[in-house]
Each structure stands twice: as C-alpha cells, then as structure tokens.
DNA sequence: CTGTTAGCGCATTCAT
DNA sequence: ATGAATGCGCTAACAG
C-alpha cells in the first residue's frame, strides 16, 4: 500500500493515525529507505560537488568546513575534488560530478579558466556557485571578498607606516604572468577569475592615489602557489638595486615563503622589511613576529556559497548576484617604519 | 536492444563491430549513462564516506588529500563529514552514510568511541577502515603510525639532549582525563582509540627505561585539541615548583599553543624550554625557532587507508590488519640543553 | 485520505 | 553473440 510509502517518504497526505502505525511497523521491521531508488525517481541526490585547488590549503579547508556545516543543516552531502589549479582536472571533476547527478556545484575555478565550459554545465541545468574567484560573463552567483579593496587597504596601511617601495608576491599561473608585467600594471584586473589580478590592481591604485608610480619589477610571481616559489620571488625582490621596504604576499602560503626568505637573507621583520599577509592562518600569531594580515571570513564564504547554491537548486531564477563579505585588517607586529637608507 | 546496454556498460559479451557502432551512436546522441539507476541495480555507489573530527585541522586535510587522490585513481568519490570529536555527530554521520549506501567508510573515531556501534555497521556489511586511531576488538583494518614508538623516540631524543623533566601536553577529552592521572601513568595505553594514550605510554616507557619516575603532574590536558587549551596547559606546567625543561605537545595545534605560551611567559625556546612537536605542519620551519617534530606520512596514511578499504569492498575476508607507517624525527632548532638550575 | 498502477534506467536472467 | 522479458525500490498520477 502506498500509504506506507507516503508516510515514510514524507510526501502526499497521510492521516496521523496511519503515519503512527507505519512508523511503528517500520521500526520493528528495521526498514531503511533506499535513497538510491528515491534519487532515481526524484532526480535529486542531495549531494553537492565541491571543486577546489587543494584541500590541504588552509583557505580551502576552511571554506569546505563552512560549506559542510551549512550542508549538513540542509541535509546535503559534500563531495570533494582537488584540481591542483589544473584546468584538465577541473573539467574532469566537474564532468564526473554532473554525471553523478549532483544537485549543484561549488567551484573555485583555476586561474584563467575558460568560461565556456562552465557555461555549458549551467545551461544544461546544474546550478553553479563560484567561490573566492569570479568569472565575468558567466551566469553564476559568486561569493568572496572585494579583492581590490582588500589589497587597496593593506597597501594604504603600509603607505601610512611610511613605506613607498612596496613589493607584491603573487602566485599567478605562468601563462598569465606576462599580463602582470605591463608598464604601470595596466589591466591586471581583467585577468579572468584571478584574485591575484584584482588584488594587484588594488595595490596599484593605492600607490597611484598616493602619487607613487607602480613599478613592474616590484610585482613578482614564483609561478605557483607554493612556498618555495614565494621564497625565490622574495629573494628576487630583495636583490633589486632598490629593494622594497615592505612586502605584500597575496595568500597565506606565500606569506610563509616571504617570512622564510627574509630569515634566510639574514634580515629581520619588521626592522628590515615589513610584511602584510592575506588570510589569517592558525600560525599567524605564533610566528616571529606575529603577522599583520588581511583576514577573510573564509568559513562564512563557504556557508554563504552553499546557501546561494541551495536557493538555485530550489529553482531561483533571479539574475546572478556577486556576494562580497567584509575583510578585516588584523594588526600585529610585522609592520614597522621603513628602514632608512643605509 | 540489450547489446547497446552491454556495450555501454562494459559487461557481458559484445562483438567488436557492435561495440563500435554503439559507441558511435551514443556519441552522436549525446548519451550519458545514468549512474543513479546503475547504482540501484549493482548496489554500488562508488562513493566512500570519510568521517573525521575537523577538516580544518591540517592532519585531517592532508589525510583527506591522500584519500582523495587514491580515490580518484580508483573511480571513487569522497564524501565528507566533520564530527568535532562529538560521538553523537559521529554516529549520525555514519548512519547517514550507510543509508546513502556508500561502498565503504574511513573513520577516525573520536576519543573513547564505543566499539559496538561500528561493530554493528561492519556486521551489517559496510566495510570500515580506521584512520589514525585504532580500536581494539573491532574487526576493521586500521592505518596509522606506531604511536607508542613515535613518542618513545621523541622522548629519548629529549633525554639524550640532557632533559630529565619533560612535560606532555595532550588533548584528551575530559571524560578519560582521569585515567591519564593514575600514579606512574599506569594503563594509559588502554584508553580506547586514543592516540594520546599510546603516545603518553611511549613517553612513560622512555622515562622508565632511563630510570626516571614519570610524574603525573607533568602530563596535562587542556581538555580539547584547541590552541587555547594548550596555552593554558603549558602555563600550568611552567607554574609548577619544578617546571619541566622540555615539552612534548602531542599534535600540531597543541604545538602552536605551547609555543605561544612560552612566548607569553617571556621565555625563549630552546634556551628556557625545549619543544618537540608532532606532525610536520607547513609552518614548522618558519616559526622561531624552527620546530623539531615527529613527522607522520599523513597523505600516505590516507592513501593506504583507501587502498585497504577498496580491497575490503572487493570482498577480501582476511582477518583485520593494522598497518603502521614510519615516522621521522625532523631535527630543527627547538631543542637545546636544559636550562641549568638558577 | 487511501489503494492501485505504471514506470524511472539500468543489469540480469532466459531464450534464441 | 544478441534480443526479449523481468525486476531493483521507489514516487507520481490516478482512481476510488
């Protein structure tokens, strides 16, 4: 009888009495609904796919934590895929997820992602929310921070401390690196889906507003987002004829690299170089000196992304919204006055 | 015709010619197999559930990375659940996973897990592999390190440096804390599923072997696995009449707390206190001083756990094996000679 | 409100 | 080697 099914499935209308009896019977029989069969009918799997660069990276693991908590509250499951910033892996992961019939996707696209692939997925009916990165011209919500503004404020903070020669250590993929090196840093913000681009633009504009001409050789990238890359980049920076007196690494791993390079060069922070990092990792107040950072509400970014995805899954058809959460500049001890010429 | 199904599903026998034609037709029609329907028939979902305390913790995110890589190679998907060391959440997560018909489970049980719950799951037919922690009397494989030996060696290293008063900062849940405080630390290793217990036993035995009587007041727990707990625990330790000259924090977050406390107390490491931590987190060589640690091959632990799970899923019925991977003592600069009495 | 019927898309019999 | 028929466990649509 279908009444039993209705009672157990929680749909249609069932009398309270019947519902009670069915629940009782189900318990004694040890009945467990078959979720797979249900999914086949309803077309919903209650699973959402999360596609990111690397779960080992603290930024992503915090984001996933936020997503997972919100998902659990909504009865959704989180499936994970790492891309290592590799576009092939990203596409493969997404393809497999839609084949698996996930209800929706949260993706943090790799630098320079082509927007057409994701466009196809969306048009085909799988809702997508972008996390951290944002792709212009794509009908997808996104949740992140105002990267331009965050970098702008960090730079102004350094400027206010008296620094005029400020270096940036970024982790741009090599194929867009060239674009990063145009005179005056013109157009960096247009690099597709690049937080690094937007942040560099914020840095540039703060400089410009202070009447300082941005120097191309002050923006360096080690090629990847690994610490060794940042170490090399920092050494390159400090080997310049006029080395910067302050450095702005664009994520937490890069900050670690900058700090390491500073130490390896026999320099001291903040006496010889000041540093303002991105992301308030667990170790930021334990390193020497405690690191001043731009903190993002990472868990909340994840939670909001899931929220947005849910409303899309529930059929929301409003035009894409780009949600931007507030960052905080956490002042610690890695910024001091610039070293006077010596 | 069933031939098409056979060709696409890759089972039964099909002539090469037919296979070719079917593949062609499938491509032009844009056919995508319905994984959900397939799962209903085969009973396999190609998904494995991973249950751990907190994905934000570097140990777990590395383990998940290892699991995910191995899973991808095997065509399996990884579903995540965080328990926050809460037994209720752990049970709930596991229940939902088996209801979802995952092919298997990798679980890192919370301290003091009752073994009966998992036993039920296993007997009911879902393979389980334990990660990091291990539960005696449970018919499940486990993958981790030799906790006793790792702590034993770390302690001997400290002993060799001349330390005789060595403190331990652990993160035991409060309900088993009492057991940690028996005179002579007798029986700590029997605490169910506790890496902390085994490690404390290793510490105790190294002391004993050196002819030093273990002191109960040198083993402290802040109650949880948070940094603040370790800060408090360390301060408690250093406030003793005869404070230890070296400290052994039992995981990376706790190490951070110990380092922070040392600094807040105005002490210097290793001049005033030496420290040997567990787990080679990304920041260990960037803090001051670079931290000497017992490193575990965490990604590999995850990968091996998945491997073991797969062979169980494929029907292996051999008796449970407990796999133990090698640890490495990474010497850096946080250990020096003990501070002479003064 | 409840019972009956049909069918989701596939894998697996059984024939041929 | 192939085609036809059956059923996995459930929900949806319809009748009563």
Q: A281 — contact with chain B (CB < 8 Å)?
A: yes
pLDDT at B325 over 50: yes
Q: Which tens digits make up the pLDDT trace of B165-224?
A: 999 999 875 445 556 667 777 766 665 457 888 899 999 999 999 999 999 999 998 777
| pLDDT value for A137 | 84
State the Cα–Cα distance between residues A250 and A275, nearest whole angstrom: 11
| pLDDT value for B206 | 98
State the Cα–Cα distance between residues B280 and B286, nearest whole angstrom: 11
pLDDT at B160 over 50: yes
State the Cα–Cα distance between residues A140 and B243, nearest whole angstrom: 58
| Contact call for A287 and B287, based on CB within 8 A | yes
Which is more confidently placed, A75 or B190? A75
How many pairs of residues across A and B have Cβ atoms under 8 Å apart?
A: 113
Q: What is the mean pLDDT of chain A?
A: 91
Instruction: Give CA separation, B290 vs A57, A259, A287, B201, B293, in Å.
Output: 21, 12, 10, 27, 9
Q: Which tens digits make up the pLDDT trace of A118-147?
A: 999 999 999 999 999 888 889 999 999 999
State the Cα–Cα distance between residues A57 and B39, nearest whole angstrom: 33
Instruction: Give CA separation, B168 vs A200, B219, B234, in Å.
Output: 45, 5, 9
| pLDDT value for B212 | 97
Contacts of A34 in chain B (CB under 8 A): 40, 101
Is residue A36's beta carbon less than 7 angstroms from any atom in nucleic acid strand C? no
Q: Give the distance from residue B141's alpha carbon to the nearest chain A alpha carbon, in angstroms.
A: 24
pTM greater than the 0.75 cutoff: yes
Q: What is the mean pLDDT of residues B27-39?
A: 89
Q: What is the band of B8 on the pLDDT scale with cuts at 50, 70, 90?
A: confident
Q: What is the band of B244 on the pLDDT scale with cuts at 50, 70, 90?
A: very high
Residue nearest to nucleotide D8 (CA to C1'): B41
Instruction: Give CA separation, A172 vs A113, A200, A275, B210, B302, in Å.
Output: 13, 11, 19, 53, 30
Q: Which domains does chain B have, with CATH numbers?
A: 1-43 (no CATH), 45-145+302-325 (3.40.50.2300), 147-297+328-341 (3.40.50.2300)
Strand partners, A292: A276
Q: B80 — contact with chain A (CB < 8 Å)?
A: yes
Which is more confidently placed, A173 or B255? B255
Specify the nucleotide whose C1' lies closest to residue A6 (CA). Answer: D11
Q: A282 — contact with chain B (CB < 8 Å)?
A: yes
State the Cα–Cα distance between residues B3 and B15, nearest whole angstrom: 9
Q: What is the mean pLDDT of residues B323-337?
A: 98
Query: How would you classify the pairing of strands B292-295 and B328-330?
Result: antiparallel
Q: A91 — contact with chain B (CB < 8 Å)?
A: no
Residue nearest to nucleotide C3 (CA to C1'): A1
**For testing the chain B interface, which of A78, A282, A285, A289 should be mutated: the one with the most B CBs within 10 Å?**
A282
Q: Which of residues 150-179 of A touch B (CB under 8 A)?
A: none
Specify the nucleotide whose C1' lies closest to residue A9 (CA). Answer: D11
Q: Which tens digits make up the pLDDT trace of A277-311?
A: 999 999 999 998 999 999 999 999 999 999 999 99
Q: Which tens digits make up the pLDDT trace of A8-30?
A: 887 778 888 888 888 888 889 88
- Report the residue from A61, A79, A99 with minimal CB separation from B79: A79
Q: Give the distance from residue A77's alpha carbon to the nearest chain B alpha carbon, in angstroms.
A: 7
Q: What is the mean pLDDT of residues B239-256?
A: 97
Q: How far is the CA of A287 from the C1' of D14 (A)?
A: 70
Is residue B36's beta carbon less than 7 angstroms from any atom in nucleic acid strand D? no
DSSP-derived letter for residue A51 is: E
Q: A288 — contact with chain B (CB < 8 Å)?
A: yes
SS (H, E, C) chain B: CHHHHHHHHCCCCCCHHHHHHHHHHHHHHCCCCCHHHHHHHHCCCCEEEEEECCCCCHHHHHHHHHHHHHHHHCCCEEEEEECCCCHHHHHHHHHHHHHCCCCEEEECCCCCCCHHHHHHHHHCCCCEEEECCCCCCCCCEEEEECHHHHHHHHHHHHHHCCCCCEEEEECCCHHHCHHHHCHHHCCHHHCCCCHHHHHHHHHHHHHHHCCCCCCHHHEEECCCCCHHHHHHHHHHHHCCCCCCCEEEECCHHHHHHHHHHHHHCCCCCCCCCEEEEECCCCCCCCCCCCCEEEECCHHHHHHHHHHHHHHHHCCCCCCCCEEEECCEEECCCCCCCCCCCC
| Contact call for B282 and A34, based on CB within 8 A | no
């Amino acid at each position: 009888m279908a009444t039993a099914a209705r009672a157990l499935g929680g749909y249609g209308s069932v009398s309270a009495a019947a519902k009670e009896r069915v629940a009782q019977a189900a318990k004694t029989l040890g009945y467990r609904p078959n979720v797979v069969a249900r999914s086949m009918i309803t077309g919903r799997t209650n699973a959402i796919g999360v596609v990111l660069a690397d779960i080992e990276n603290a930024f992503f693991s915090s984001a996933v934590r936020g997503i997972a908590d919100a998902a659990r509250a909504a009865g959704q499951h989180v499936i994970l895929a790492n891309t290592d910033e590799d576009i092939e892996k990203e596409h493969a992961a997404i393809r497999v997820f839609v084949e698996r019939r996930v209800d929706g996707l949260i993706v943090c696209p790799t630098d320079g992602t082509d927007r057409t692939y994701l466009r196809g997925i969306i048009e085909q009916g799988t809702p997508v929310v972008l996390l951290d990165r944002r792709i212009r011209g794509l009908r997808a919500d996104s949740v992140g921070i105002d990267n331009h503004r965050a970098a702008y404020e960090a730079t102004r903070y350094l400027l206010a401390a008296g620094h005029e020669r400020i270096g940036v250590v970024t982790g741009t993929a090599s194929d867009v690196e060239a674009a990063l090196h145009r005179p005056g840093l013109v157009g960096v913000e247009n690099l597709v889906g690049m937080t690094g681009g937007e942040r560099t633009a914020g840095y540039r504009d703060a400089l410009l507003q202070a009447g300082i001409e941005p120097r191309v050789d002050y923006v360096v990238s080690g090629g990847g987002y690994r610490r060794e890359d940042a170490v090399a980049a920092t050494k390159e920076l400090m080997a310049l004829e006029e080395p910067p007196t302050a450095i702005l690494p664009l994520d937490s791993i890069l900050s670690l690299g900058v700090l390491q390079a500073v130490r390896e060069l026999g320099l001291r922070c903040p006496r010889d170089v000041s540093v303002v990092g991105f992301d308030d990792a667990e170790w930021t107040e334990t390193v020497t000196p405690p690191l001043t950072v731009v903190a993002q509400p990472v868990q909340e970014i994840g939670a909001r992304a899931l929220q947005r995805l849910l409303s899309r899954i529930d059929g929301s058809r409003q035009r894409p919204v780009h949600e931007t959460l507030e960052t905080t500049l956490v002042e610690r001890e890695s910024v001091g006055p610039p070293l006077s010429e010596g």
